[in-house]
Structure formats: C-alpha cells, structure tokens
C-alpha cells in the first residue's frame, strides 16, 4: 500500500493486482479525534443489467495510480476529513471479490458518509480503469472508462 502524509492526514491510494483488505483500509484511517469511520467495498457481482456475469477483469491506464492519488488528496483536503484510504483492483477478479475499497474518518457520521460517497463517486468518474465483463452466453463488453 502506498502511504502519503498530507498535512494532518494520511492518504492511502493504490491501484493493485493484490486482493483488497477492508480491515487494513479501516485501520489506516484510525484517528483519536474521529467519531466516525465509514468504509465502502465495491464487490464483483454475478450479474449486470439482467445478464449473468461469468468473469470480470479490470485493466488500468499507466496513469491510473496518479489519478487515484489526486482524487484521494482532494477528498483528504476537506477540513472535516481526518484520513482517507482507497484502493482499486486491476486484473482478473472472481465473483464476490472487492474491486474498490474506501475508508474515511471524520469527527461526525454525516461528514464521513458524505466524504466516502464523494470519494467513491470521483473514483468512478475519473479513474482510467476499464472493466471487461464476460457473460454466461460467451459475449463480452468493456465498460466504465471515464
């Protein structure tokens, strides 16, 4: 995991082929001032728009890690945020595995939920990672590239 101190916060941002560890992300944002820690786990599901998914693979642009670090730093710069941790997986994933993990700590739950949602939304909107889905009928599609 890549750890970068920024001001009063620790930002963890990583694009990796390794399985993602939700507990490690949660532990990374622990702060004695925090009254709230919110985590999110985006998990590979077995269907998409009514079609059965058999396999899934993520492919990342070489600059994806830098984009992820930028997005994480933007959210961490919010004065209500104490720390953020975010990782996105690339390569082949199995049904049920985490593709995206986010953890955020703040003083209060509303700010933590908002920061976590913002981080997930910005990652989905800006991260140059493509998702290849293979369906049960043998067809496939590439999706989610900003």
CATH of the domain at 19: 3.90.1170.40
Q: Name the band, by pLDDT with cuts 50, 70 and 90, for residue 9.
A: confident
144 part of a folded domain: no
Q: Is residue 2 part of a domain?
A: no
Please state the domain count of the chain.
Answer: 1
- Domain with 43, as residue range(s), is 10-137
- In this structure, is residue 33 part of a structural domain? yes
Q: Residue 4 falls within a domain, yes or no? A: no
pLDDT for res 6: 47
How confident is the model over 13-37, as pLDDT tens digits?
Answer: 999 999 999 999 999 999 999 999 9
C-alpha span between 115 and 110 (Å, rounded)? 9
What would the pLDDT profile of 58-99 be if each residue is shown by its tens digit?
999 999 999 999 999 999 999 999 999 999 999 999 999 999
């Amino acid at each position: 995991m890549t750890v970068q101190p920024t001001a009063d916060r620790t930002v963890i941002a990583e694009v990796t082929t390794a399985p993602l560890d939700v507990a490690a992300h949660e532990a990374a944002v622990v702060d004695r001032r925090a009254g709230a820690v919110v985590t999110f786990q985006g998990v590979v599901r077995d269907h998409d728009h009514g079609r059965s998914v058999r396999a899934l693979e993520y492919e990342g642009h070489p600059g994806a890690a830098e984009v992820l670090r930028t997005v994480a730093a933007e959210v961490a710069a919010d004065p209500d945020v104490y720390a953020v941790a975010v990782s996105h997986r690339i390569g082949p994933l199995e049904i049920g595995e985490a593709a995206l993990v986010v953890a955020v700590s703040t003083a209060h739950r509303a700010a933590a939920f908002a920061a976590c949602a913002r981080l997930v939304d910005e990652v989905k909107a800006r991260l140059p990672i493509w998702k290849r889905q293979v369906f049960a009928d043998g067809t496939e599609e590439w999706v989610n590239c900003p």
